[in-house]
A and B are shown apart, each in its own frame.
Chain A
Amino acid sequence: MELKKLLIFFILMCGSGIAMAQRGIIKGKISGQQNEPLAGATLLVNGTTSSTAADLNGDYQFYVNPGNLNLTVRYLGYRDTTINVSLTAGQLKVINITLKSRQAALEGVVITGYTEGQAKALNQQKNADNIKNIIAADQIGKFPDPNAAEALQRVPGVTIERDQGEGRYVSLRGLAPQFTNTSVNGEQIPSPEADVRYVALDAIPSDQLASIEVSKALTPDMDGDAIGGSINLITRSAQSKKPTISGTLGGGYNNLMRKGNVQGQLQYGQRFGDKEQFGLLLNSNYYQNNLGSDGIERAINDNELETRDYELTRTRLGLSSALDYRFNNHHEVYFRTLYSRFTDREWRRRYVFKPSDEEIEKLTKDRFEAQSVLSMNAGAKHTFKSFLLDYEAQYSYAEQNTPYDNEAAFVAGIPSVLNYADTRYPSISTDEDYKNNSLYGFNELGMGNTIAKDKNLTAKVNVSVPYKINSSDGLIKFGGKVRSKNKSYNITQNTFENLGGVPNLDQFAGSPVKDKFMGGRYELGNPLDLSSLIRYFNANPSQFELQIADKAADEALESFEASEDVYAGYLMGRQQIKKLMILGGVRYERTKVSYSSKDVIIAANGDLEAIRPVTGSSVYDFVLPQLHLKYELDKFSNLRAAVTYSYARPNFSEIIPSQEINREDRVATIGNANLKPVKALNYDLMAEHYFGSVGIASAGLFYKKLDNFIYRRTIFNSPYPTTGTPIIPRIDITQSQNGNDADVLGAEIALQRRLSFIPFLDDFSVYLNYTYTHSKARIQSRQANEGNANATEEIRLPGQASHVGNASVAYEGKKFSARLSLNFNGSYLSELGGTKDEDIFIKNRMQLDATAGYAINNKFRLFVEALNLTNQPLQAYQGNSTQYIQREFYSYWMRFGVKFNL
């Protein structure tokens, strides 16, 4: 079936009758009055359908018929400008165009600051062949978003998952993060985390980026493994001969921790040579943030309640460089690097109240984690008389290094009573003082370290052949890509219990970190100082007993090595027929994967029975036809439609053959190396109108039909192993499996515009977007048992929020600017439970942020940002929306400082 689609496509392409003629080339740069590139500016040859758009650097090029031509330059916020050019056959002419705002800007519209960034983004978005959203660096800088995930939350249809109040994972259009593909400069980057493919975008500082593109419908020249969409993070490059030095110097304050934070950014960029052949850009930034949270968690089935006191220090270091050399107007090479390092030192101090066991547990965890991502892209672009050639090699490496992850637990035999009359703040009563550390005896001390590595080696090549049929311009593009991935995860874990002699907790007590916890509703007393305990451990090892079987099981269970080779090729055509642009093509991707890990078998009596090495492998192919239509209703309005195929590879944690076989409980969790990726057919429809004063009103519909949807299934009384000679006759096996369908239907609307049409409000602008999503998927019924194992039930897709939106009002004067931003994430299913009543949902959350800036002069600008002004908590519930199982508060935090552009 897949090959048939490919064959039909080739026949259509070959039969289309491509007419090539000897033509000329016009290329150059379009910039504004400050020499800033006007990304997305359109050039069109009057009286023809020949047009092109400037890229992020303002560079453009296109093949045109020779003659005396009138070119019109179009850019939102500026009047159309026309230039006359004479061109002979085969000639390449460089035309650099500078739009002077005094002459060209629309009356009453000052293109500065935020509007400038918005103009860049919207011009690119307007001219894009596919449905995409773009946010430019200037625009990112106007929202208080320190990392790429938080910058993305402003895009229609984007949901973010937060960690300790900071955005981390990004979901597009109601699908979980594993359905989104993340790239840097057009090429996928590996994930530092062991068990997933998707990248925690809080590791990437937003100051590193020139822009972020969110493609919601794929074209054949893009990787096909992106059902939700594809996020492309684009780093900066040098623009002009004049050196540019810009940066930020600032500090901040976290109200919960009553601690400060620091940030800084410095960027230098310049082009060298008499023809500005060599460009160099260096960017570095650093952000250190002291944060924390106060939380409570409840385990309903176990009747347990936890208080959780988090204290964290996070740093983000970003270094990037871009070097490019233009040999002449035909040939250039480039080398781009991006290095991001995110560190997270976390102290977690807990009480766990266990009335059923008449025990209270007191624990402290101390963990340091460093996530690094390195990406190096080297490539070249060539402009030949009749075709364009570009190729690139990329090396990227991601690592999550956890040099220590230590946690100790002490236990006191104190009965407690938990009362949930106030579901928001359950009450705890105990006969004895639970803060009395002398009552807590040593239980265990776990000390471990892990390292996860992921390396990609990629090579790709693209060839673009422009052509003309009658008066209609077209382009045929084809190319190929090879990517080799190696991923591994190694664990070292040592857990010790009391061999005899370890003193009670009062000997290791530290000082409280916060004056009040949860607004003074709960008391924590003096916490366990973990370092003090480890010092005691080092001095008195004879009192500690290593849990040897636990060590063997812990180290074997999740460790794995995996390799994945991807081979891809595509062929696409783009044809302009008057106002209609048709882009169609097909992409073929073949993936070969192999994995090795270990089985951990727990004997019927609970002892560790065996650890056995296992391997798995699979090969799968995808043929992905893509069709995009764009109809230009007028010069400011487009209608777009797309039908595309895409897929999403499973998470590594689902496919590695790692297994836990627990014969004592008669349950097994096993990986499925034969798990197929989820396949999707996507329909998109979008209408968009751009405002000449910089703005957009858009509305769109999308529908996704997912096949081979992955879900976790329990196979009752299965033999183990499931193939070959069984060593266990009957055991309940839980495994991720393919088989069920899922549908996602959604609508999104967006409005961005200056209120210049309202008297006295012409310095104000609004930024509004809203996305509604509905999904359903069929899974094996949670009521299923041996007798009706094939019973199914319908669920909503985990991670899918029905309502997502942003509302922002900004004032932008000549010197002063301010913005209030609301971000709303609707409730979503976070985790499927054993029964429907055990499903865990994340509750609605609406965060209010504010920013303000004051331009001292053209070079220096003061800024202040305040986030989470209304202290919105993270809240999870189970069963019903008032039965909270987690509430976590962060208070507000701020950043302030000065930005300069010398």
Chain B
Amino acid sequence: MPALALLAVSACSKRNDNVVTPNVGDKFPQIINLADEGDGGLEDEDKFSFKVGLIDRADPSGENLEGAIVPLKKAVRVNFAVTHFEGFNKLSDYIKEAKAFYEIDDCTTSEDKDIDLKLNFDVNTGKGSFEFPAGVEEVEIEFETNDALFDDDVLNTDDRKIEIQLTGIDNAGTNVTLNTANKFEYEVLDDESVFGEYEIDVNNATQFNSFVQLFGLINEDVKNLKAADVEEIKIEFAYNEFKAVITLKETEQVEECGEMEEVNKEIEIEGGIEELDTKTLAGAVEFADDIEQEDGTEAEFKYSGEFTLNGKNLVLTLKGEYNDNETEEITLNLNK
């Protein structure tokens, strides 16, 4: 009777009314997900890839406060599919074949060690699957593509892209699941548009000084550059990214996978593209990023302006802002 009375009393507290216990902690499964939302390559690119990885979990060792990948203890089979494509009629016209591999270290992949991830991919249906092995953090699926299919000499105004989604998982049990909602979108970048790599004439003092004035705002090494020290300067508009690489005449010895080689020193400036008109020969551009300060804080820089394409020539007019300083509008003349 007293137990019954207590039960009746606790029922009145509504503790359990319409309460769903969430599956958190150990009950929250390992999640396999697409590593990126998208990528892009120029028209004559002969391959592209997407990566599939595990989502970070609370580090059991407690060392990594931001979390760590806890590899699977048992291999699972991951299914994927090309769910949408535009700009061509048949998938097999563009994708020729596929392979799957993972990185063992910076210089070695599973392919080098003849580890077979048992990739199946049907270029007609766009459906495929591969084995996500135990102990591995990320698997890369690489497609060999027809590099001639989109390689034209005209400015394209239609999209040419392909979308891939993960569709299912086999042998997973309850502890592993995968995100089927996210999409990886590969975009074919038109090399008649602003996309691509351009070079500044280092020997043109006006152009060189303009470059130094523009990007010296955010980089002390660039600010102090002398033309005589520079081998070449290239800038690139890539998928969601702006990049400027200054190759110096000075060289250094670097170790690359166990071998020493002499290479030119480089200064790199990168920014994420915030705005870019891509289906036109003239338009707006804006890119920005954060730079770590001496005290560990980060400050944002931003460059915005306009571009005009004339054949292989790009006229880029930009204004930079950083740490309460800004440049005036500076025009660069670049060639592909």
Contacts and interface: CB of A to CB of B under 8 A. Distances in A.
Interface SS of chain B: helix, strand, loop or mixed? loop
Interface in B1-40: 9, 12-15, 17-25, 28-29, 31-33
Contacts of B22: 406, 447, 494, 534, 537-538
Interface stretch (B213-221, B226-234, B279-287, B289-297): B289-297
A609 B66 CA distance: 9
A317 interface: yes
A535 B181 CA distance: 18
A543 B179 contact: yes
Given A494-B24, A663-B296, A548 B58 contact: yes
Nearest to A663: B296
B145 interface: no
Contacts, number: 117
A538 B23 contact: yes
A247 to B, nearest CB: 14
A317 B31 contact: no
Contact of A608 (B18, B65, B292): B65
Contacts of A501: 179-182
Interface in A443-477: 447
Given A534-B20, A546-B28, A610-B65, A286 B9 contact: yes
A221 B33 CA distance: 68
A605 interface: yes
Given A494-B24, A541-B177, A262 B55 contact: no
A343 B13 contact: yes
Interface string B268-308: 00000000000000000000001011011110000000000
A607 B67 CA distance: 12
Interface string A649-664: 0000000000000011
Contact of B67 (A345, A404, A549, A664): A549
B57 interface: yes
Contacts of A317: 9
B56 interface: yes
Nearest to B178: A542
Contacts of A286: 9, 12
B229 to A, nearest CB: 32
Contacts of A366: 19
B65 A542 contact: no
B13 A315 contact: yes
A115 interface: no
A608 B57 contact: no
B298 A604 contact: yes
Given A447-B22, A534-B20, A546-B28, A315 B12 contact: yes
B84 to A, nearest CB: 16
Nearest to B28: A541
Given A343-B13, A542-B180, A535 B65 contact: no
Given A541-B28, A548-B66, A663-B296, A315 B181 contact: no
B33 A604 contact: no
Contacts of A551: 58
Interface string A339-382: 00001010000000000000000000010101000000000000
A549 B58 CA distance: 8
Contacts of A663: 296-297
Interface string A535-570: 101100111011011011000000000000000000
Contacts of B59: 548
Contact of A548 (B18, B67, B177, B293): B67
Contact of A546 (B20, B57, B182): B57
A291 B59 CA distance: 43
Nearest to B6: A317
B51 to A, nearest CB: 15
A851 B298 CA distance: 64
A812 B183 CA distance: 77
A535 B20 contact: yes
A255 to B, nearest CB: 20
Nearest to A553: B65
Contacts of B182: 499-501
A531 interface: yes
Interface string A601-617: 00111111111000000
Contacts of A343: 13, 15
Given A313-B13, A546-B57, A663-B296, A608 B66 contact: yes
A288 interface: yes
Contacts of A542: 29, 31-33, 177-181
B130 to A, nearest CB: 18
A807 B66 CA distance: 59
A345 B57 contact: no
Contacts of B21: 404
Interface in B169-198: 177-182
Interface string B237-274: 00000000000000000000000000000000000000
A499 B15 contact: no
B179 A345 contact: no
A551 B67 CA distance: 10
A507 to B, nearest CB: 13
Contacts of B14: 313, 345, 368
Interface in A779-812: none
Contact of B57 (A288, A403, A492, A548): A548
26 contacts: A262-B12, A288-B13, A315-B9, A315-B12, A345-B13, A368-B19, A404-B19, A494-B28, A499-B55, A500-B182, A534-B22, A537-B22, A538-B22, A541-B31, A542-B32, A542-B178, A542-B181, A543-B179, A546-B58, A548-B66, A604-B295, A604-B296, A606-B298, A608-B65, A609-B65, A611-B65
Given A286-B12, A541-B23, A610-B65, 11 more contacts: A368-B14, A499-B182, A501-B181, A542-B181, A543-B181, A546-B55, A548-B56, A549-B65, A552-B58, A605-B298, A663-B296
